[in-house]
């Protein structure tokens, strides 16, 4: 009887799953495994990291879903094998113990993951076991969307147009699981899911729009979003309203299928759906950039900007992280991130621009902070977004386009609803001053119950002066 092992990673679902579908179609007995990789977990400084708890809940639901699939097809006791250790050791060891002929996994395009998978493939080859990797987390990967000259795109719009043309030509395949679910293997006696404590972690603080984990939560969020997607293009930039999908963590960990989401958006139609599909294409654009230009992890995409001289300003960086810059909407965004592991996309752009262009701090320090805290952290998207905001990346905003934090606040949180939620010191500030509380006189501050410079900081920098410094910084490089 031929057998295989499916290694789940960024694809924690039991439907429309390329690796699982291919393994079930080709083999008579299929085992499933997830590894809590200590090479990743041991680098996490916060032992209550939200991502570990989120993944564990996803894994628990996936285990139950596989058990139900198996039971519906007459298999008792199917489920997910879970290991805690180095994946490049655990996967070959388990493959040998099970005696499988092949290991299937969906491709991961991050540089460290590529190295890890190379080690696993080499170890399996020495055992005579095949390693089969599949495209699953994107619609089009690596070099599937290229210029007519066969080179990678560096501008988004022509990439998007080529992406859409290829989609029209090829459509969206699906990878069904149910037809061969009777081939799922029962778990061996003694297999069980670890607890957070057994993994060396503690429960994270409650709260945040991305807290609900797993396929069912992803499906509920998708249903809710598609009911309002017609207004997405109008509402997506306003952090105080429910305008975005909140599916970013589910896309990151694969509890939803990107193919299914694109298919559903195109069937729905309309401007909101079109604009949202563009956001999904941005995700693939940045993954393509990382694949072809891995140097962007440590360097500017535009090499001339590696000569930029950033300020050494640890106090300014610390104030930015703490949400105490004196600019209310910037601070609200940073506090949302610290308290929930999530930040609205408009605020990701604003806070990144503020750190790099108002405070003059190297974008890589901000990128690292987001990487430490974001529940939906995606290496390619985070890097691409930061380099876009800092004007060092591909198809980035021009260096002379510098977000005015006051104007952004007035435009995208006009009534101060979001600010008051995350900056409670300003809850009593009237709408007239909510975006610029430092303009209140002493009497107005007393009436609002806040003292600027004491309860809430005065602005760290003057935006006009900071803008002039940024223009000079880039001008020195551009000559």
Residue 77 scores a pLDDT above 90:
yes
pLDDT given for residue 76 in this prediction = 96
According to the annotation, is 388 in a ligand binding site? no
Residue 479 scores a pLDDT above 80:
no
**pTM, 2 dp:** 0.95
pLDDT given for residue 292 in this prediction = 96
Which positions are annotated as active-site residues?
A: 279, 282, 310, 345, 363, 386
Name all domains of the chain by residue range, CATH numbers in brackets. 1-136 (3.40.50.620), 138-173+216-292 (1.25.40.80), 303-478 (1.10.579.10)
Residue 1 scores a pLDDT above 90:
no
According to the annotation, is 66 in a ligand binding site? no
51 phi and psi angles, rounded to 5 deg: -65, -35
3-state secondary structure of 38: helix
Distance CA 53, CA 223 (A): 24
According to the annotation, is 376 in a ligand binding site? yes
pLDDT given for residue 211 in this prediction = 74
Mean pLDDT of all residues belonging to the chain? 96
According to the annotation, is 285 in a ligand binding site? yes
* CA nearest to 419, candidates 327, 357, 356, 321: 327
Residue 207 scores a pLDDT above 80:
no
**Start-end of H helices in 341-455:** 345-353, 363-373, 379-390, 405-412, 417-422, 442-448
Residue 27 scores a pLDDT above 90:
yes
* 82-98 per-residue burial string, b: 16 or more CB within 10 A, e: under 16: bbeebbbbbbbebbeeb
In the chain, the percentage of residues whose pLDDT exceeds 70 is 99
pLDDT given for residue 338 in this prediction = 96
In the chain, the percentage of residues whose pLDDT exceeds 90 is 96
According to the annotation, is 286 in a ligand binding site? yes
């Amino acid at each position: 009887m031929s057998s295989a092992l499916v290694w789940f990673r960024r694809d924690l679902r039991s439907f429309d799953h390329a690796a699982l579908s291919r393994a079930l179609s080709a083999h008579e007995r299929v085992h499933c495994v997830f590894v809590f990789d200590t090479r990743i977990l041991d680098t996490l400084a916060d032992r209550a990291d939200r991502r570990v708890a989120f993944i564990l809940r996803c894994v628990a639901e996936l285990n139950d879903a596989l058990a139900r699939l198996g039971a519906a097809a007459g298999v008792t006791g199917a489920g997910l094998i879970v290991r805690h250790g180095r994946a490049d050791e655990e996967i070959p060891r388990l493959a040998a113990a099970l005696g499988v002929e092949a290991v299937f996994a969906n491709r991961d395009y991050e540089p460290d993951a590529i190295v890890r998978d190379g080690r696993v493939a080499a170890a399996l080859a020495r055992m005579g076991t095949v390693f089969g990797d599949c495209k699953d987390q994107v619609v089009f990967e690596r070099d599937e969307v290229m210029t007519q000259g066969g080179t990678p795109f560096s501008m988004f719009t022509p990439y998007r147009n080529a992406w859409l043309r290829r989609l029209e030509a090829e459509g969206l395949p699906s990878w069904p699981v149910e037809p061969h679910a009777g081939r799922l293997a029962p778990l061996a006696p003694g297999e069980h899911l670890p607890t957070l404590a057994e993994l060396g972690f503690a429960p994270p603080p409650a709260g945040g729009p991305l807290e609900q984990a797993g396929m069912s939560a992803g499906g509920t969020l998708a249903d809710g979003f598609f009911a309002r997607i017609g207004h997405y293009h109008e509402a997506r930039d306003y952090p105080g309203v429910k305008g975005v999908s909140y599916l970013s963590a589910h896309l990151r960990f694969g509890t939803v299928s990107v193919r299914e989401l694109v298919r559903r958006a195109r069937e729905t139609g309309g401007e909101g759906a079109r604009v949202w599909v563009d956001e999904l294409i941005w995700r693939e654009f940045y993954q393509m950039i990382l694949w072809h230009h891995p140097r962007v992890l440590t360097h500017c995409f535009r090499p001339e900007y590696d000569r930029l001289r950033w300020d050494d300003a640890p106090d300014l960086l610390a104030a930015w992280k703490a949400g105490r810059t004196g600019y209310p909407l910037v601070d609200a965004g940073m506090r949302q991130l610290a308290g929930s592991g999530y930040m609205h996309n408009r605020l990701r752009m604003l806070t990144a621009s503020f750190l790099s262009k108002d405070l003059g701090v190297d974008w890589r320090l901000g990128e690292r902070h987001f990487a430490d805290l974001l529940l939906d952290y995606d290496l390619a998207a985070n890097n691409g977004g930061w380099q876009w905001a800092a004007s060092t990346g591909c198809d980035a905003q021009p260096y002379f386009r510098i977000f005015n934090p006051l104007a952004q606040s007035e435009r995208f949180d006009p009534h101060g609803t979001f600010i008051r939620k995350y900056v409670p010191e300003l809850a009593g500030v009237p709408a007239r001053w909510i975006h610029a509380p430092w303009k209140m006189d002493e009497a107005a501050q007393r009436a609002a119950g806040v003292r600027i410079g004491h309860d809430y900081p005065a602005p760290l920098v003057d935006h006009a002066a900071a803008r002039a410094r940024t223009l000079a910084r880039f001008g020195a490089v551009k000559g």
